Amino acid sequence: PEGLRYYVNSCSKGETNGCHSSTKTSQPTEATDVALRKPTMIKQVSQKGRLFISVFLLFSLQINCVTFPLPGESPEQQLLKPNEWSYCDYFWNDKKDPQGTTSVAGFEVLLQKQLKGKQMQKEMAEFIHERIKIEEEYAKNLSKLSLNPLAAQEEGTLGEAWTQLKKSLHDEAEVHLKFSSKLHTEVEKPLLTFRCDNFKKDLKKYDHHIADLRKQLASRYTSVEKARKALADRQKDLEVKTQQLEIKLSNKTEEDIKKARRKSTQAGDDLMRCVDLYNQTQCKWFEEMVTTSMELEKLEVERIEWIQQHLRQYTTLRHETDMFNQSMVEPVDQLLQNVDPAKDRELWVRENNTGDVRPVDMDI
């Protein structure tokens, strides 16, 4: 997206806060290892260097070795994908685990979402499997009942309707058996086989890649801290020697002062170099976070659409089953409407009569 290219490009150019994006300045509510940097006067480095270090120390908030802007100290950042609630915009900070003992990286939260989705997909398949078992058992019982000889001796139009009703049970059993078979091939099996081969391995690759970049970032951050401390020590040493020379409490010469100044300047240069390396590493991590989180977002969309497609197939099959069942019941309804007690009586009499001559009185 255009917004993504803008932020990645600004990151590669070293623009302030180019690697971070949110609707508000990126400050988490819960974090560990928070380091607030305040301005430090560095007299021996160049004006440009002093300005760079001062800005870096003033407008930065370090949380678990990741740098965020201080609240209210930088322009409001724009989302990479406005109005989309994209993964790439909302998982930069770490969060406490449920026990509150350790921090969980935002990217780890995204990975856990993928694993949970896989588990939900598996459980849905198990649910459909139970539905299939019910359909199969139901079909078996319907078929068995259709062969029951009870009331088989009923005659006439009522007997025909009763026979049709029993036959409809057999036909209905076939429909439910077919329904269960289609549920297996068109719903259960696709849910079971979707991303079942190397999905977890792919997730581990993502995890290791981002985790390695985060480790590199932590290492760079440690180097910055060491360089900052070294600069502070050199600055302090220079100030002490300068004061001693001014009040003549020491035999230190101007050469000693120059030497201390050179060391302080070198320490300032070292800090700038460490900061530059840190920023390069953070920018790389930023770019990979955006790219990979958007890939995970795409995978989640595909999962939901896949499940939606096959659950809709479930409802389609269910409607078809209802229609088949209805078509089987219709002949029964028609025959029941045609049941005629008078006609049944006539039919029975015709078949079973023993003569229609009535007895009369005996004549003497």
Residues in CB range of 123: below 8 A, 6 or more apart: none
pLDDT of residue 122: 95
Note the pLDDT of residue 252: 59
Distance CA 306, CA 181 (A): 20
**Average pLDDT of every residue of the chain:** 82
pLDDT band at 13 (very low <50, low <70, confident <90, very high): very low
pLDDT tier for residue 241 given thresholds of 50, 70 and 90: confident
Identity of the residue numbered 74: S
Q: How confident is the model at residue 24 (pLDDT cuts 50, 70, 90)?
A: very low
The pair phi, psi for residue 24, each rounded to 5°, is -125, 170
Q: Which helix (H) or strand (E) holds 130?
A: helix 106-146
DSSP result, 256-303: HHHHHHHHHHHHHHHHHHHHHHHHHHHHHHHHHHHHHHHHHHHHHHHH
Interval 283-295 mean pLDDT: 95
Residue 12 pLDDT > 50: no
How high is the pLDDT of residue 40? 42
The 8-class DSSP code of residue 100 comes to S
Q: Is the pLDDT of residue 46 over 60?
A: no
pLDDT at 329: 79
Mean pLDDT of the region 144-171: 93
Stretch 217-239: mean pLDDT, rounded? 94
Which one, of 65, 77, 79, 73, lies nearest residue 33 by Cα? 65
Q: What is the pLDDT of residue 17?
A: 41
How far is 164 from 327, CA to CA, in rounded Å?
13
Say which residues have a Cβ less than 8 Å from residue 39's Cβ, sequence separation at least 6.
54, 57, 58
Give 269's contacts (C-beta < 8 A, 6+ positions apart): 45, 49
72 in Cβ contact with 25 (< 8 Å): yes
Contact between 183 and 128 under an 8 Å Cβ cutoff? The reply is yes
**% the chain with pLDDT above 90:** 54
Digit-coded pLDDT (tens) for 162-188: 999 999 999 999 999 999 999 999 999
Comparing 25-39, 89-103, 122-136, 283-297, the range with the smallest average pLDDT is: 25-39
Measured on CA atoms in the order 10, 13, 19, 20, is the torsion positive or negative? negative
Residue 34: its pLDDT value, please?
54
- What's the mean pLDDT in 256-263? 89
**Mean pLDDT (whole number) for 326-334:** 83
Residue scoring higher pLDDT (77 or 266):
266
> Residue 51 pLDDT more than 70?
no
How far is the C-alpha of 63 from the C-alpha of 56, rounded, in Å? Answer: 15
- Mean pLDDT for the stretch of residues 85-106: 87
Q: How far apart are CA 1 and CA 95, in angstroms?
A: 28
Q: Which helix (H) or strand (E) holds 114?
A: helix 106-146
**Helices of type H across 147-253:** 156-183, 189-193, 199-246
What is the chain's percent helix, strand, coil content, to nearest 5? 70, 5, 30
Q: Name the pTM for this structure.
A: 0.75
- Of 266 and 341, the structure prediction assigns the larger pLDDT to 266
pLDDT at 27: 40
Task: Look at residue 26 in the predicted model and tell me its pLDDT.
Answer: 39
Confidence of residue 59 (pLDDT cuts 50, 70, 90): low
Average pLDDT for 81-86: 90
* The two structure tokens encoding residue 125: 């398949």
Who wins on pLDDT, 254 or 11? 254
pLDDT-derived band at 32 (thresholds 50, 70, 90) equals: very low
Query: Does 25 score more than 50 pLDDT?
Result: no
User: Could you tell me whether strands 66-68 and 61-63 are parallel, antiparallel, or unpaired per DSSP bridges?
Assistant: antiparallel
pLDDT reported for residue 325? 80
